[in-house]
Structure 1
Amino acid sequence: MNFDYIYKFHKVTDHSKKALLNRKIWLSTQESLNDPFEGVTKTIYPTDRTDLITKCVNYMTEMLCDEENLEKSHAQNIVLQRYLENPDGFLEIVLEQAKKEHNSAIEHTRNLGIYSTSADIPNDERSHIANMIMWSLYADGFKGFCIKYNAKELYRSLRELNSEDKFSYTKVNYVTQPYEVDLFSLVHKDNIAYLKALQFKHEQWEHECECRILSTSAGLKEISQNSIEAIYFGDKISEQNEIGLIEIMQQSFPNTPIFRVKLDSQSYGIRVGEKI
């Protein structure tokens, strides 16, 4: 993990409290995230028949090399012979195969687990704790809480305590066009072009400074007691929720400091108050 700290903003719900109590985090599926363009890709098709022929021949050649362990020159001769025997039929079959792999790859990304966090704001000496938009959108208008993670420890513990899953992480890039994937790019089974689509969101989401942790499955994942560096309560949190969260932290993360985030009218911003 290339970040020192990452942040997760929460509403106070039964689910968020239970996860904290059990030292777990919830990784969502792509479809349950709030961006309607999540994982959207722009598929690049051949521009003309010559391009289609070239890509279909190369696609089948690579497939034969992978599946039958053939030398490339030998595989290419076999493919060209198949094309010459029935050009239109060959192109139709290969095009359908490429589309099938395309749809399979999209379906695969939909089943991945995604934990969306925020990294510190670039070129800003303040912590991401000062991001009032995140507090407003994801922490119930300052009535929720924010977890500050030790990023390296969180990532280490996820991999160690959830051995049935594989994990990776990525910083989200903010763009104005969807990520492009060539229809014929998935001949190699280890191609991760579609996973890269999860690294991009529209620039209107730029305030999130998002860092994502990805897993081969969604759901609850165990984390270590040392994963949480600090926890911050919004200035408008109810007394009942505050008391309940303090009790949970004392039980599951007893060494983790707790702070209250204050709205500062003088600076028109956010400041961290005294430790609770």
Structure 2
Amino acid sequence: MEPARYLGASFSPQPVQNLEARAQLLNERYGDRDAQTVLAAALAGEAGANTALVSSFGADSAVLLHMAAQIDRDVTVVFIDTGKLFGETKTYRDTLIERLGLTGVRSIKPEVSVLKQQDPMGALWIKDTDACCHIRKVVPLATALEGFDSWISGRKRHQASTRAQLQWFEAEEGRIKVNPLADWSAKQVLDYAKEHKLPPHPLVAQGYPSIGCMPCTDKVAEGEDPRSGRWRGKNKTECGIHFPTLGKQADGSGI
């Protein structure tokens, strides 16, 4: 596959207070472009000089990782190992790393001292899922992203009502967040994976279209929202890494 081409970097680094305007300009510039072009632009520095791709190595992750590998196999990929993941997810991570030739994957874990202090029994998820997500995922990601000007996510509008208005570029916490697959449907993801013979996450066939930590991920029935199995029965739809309070509230109250 020929690497996607972007329109050419034309934005100089902007002060934090101008990030919203910068994101808006980027959305106008790339509004009618395809996912590969948006991704190529981000990896070339259009949204910031230092860019990381954040991946859960979940159900849909292979598509964005494959696209990135076609452009730059050395791209920094941040993977948060919360300590509560399915074993299948970590095996899938290793499979994709080898299959795609990715050389820049960083597996980040929560600080041991934090876990000993705030979740010594490893059961915080039972009484406070927000706090558990915060110490095991949100804070480690915030730390891992220090020094990066922008980051790339695999979020899509079709995944949940909370993501229905997702844009290519967003301003968040002093960085630009890039969502190259924002307008992709579930069918487009599946078709791309089939076209490029990408291995599926082993749990998808077992009824898990959205995969997070093992204690808080349930199977999804036909016709349900793909993310309805995440934190089932809780008034919660996101772990917190996609909220503007990223890394700020140790008690998880803002998640």
TM (normalized to structure 1)? 0.25
Higher strand share: 1
* Higher CA-based Rg: 1
Larger RCO (CA within 8 A; separation ≥ 6) = 1
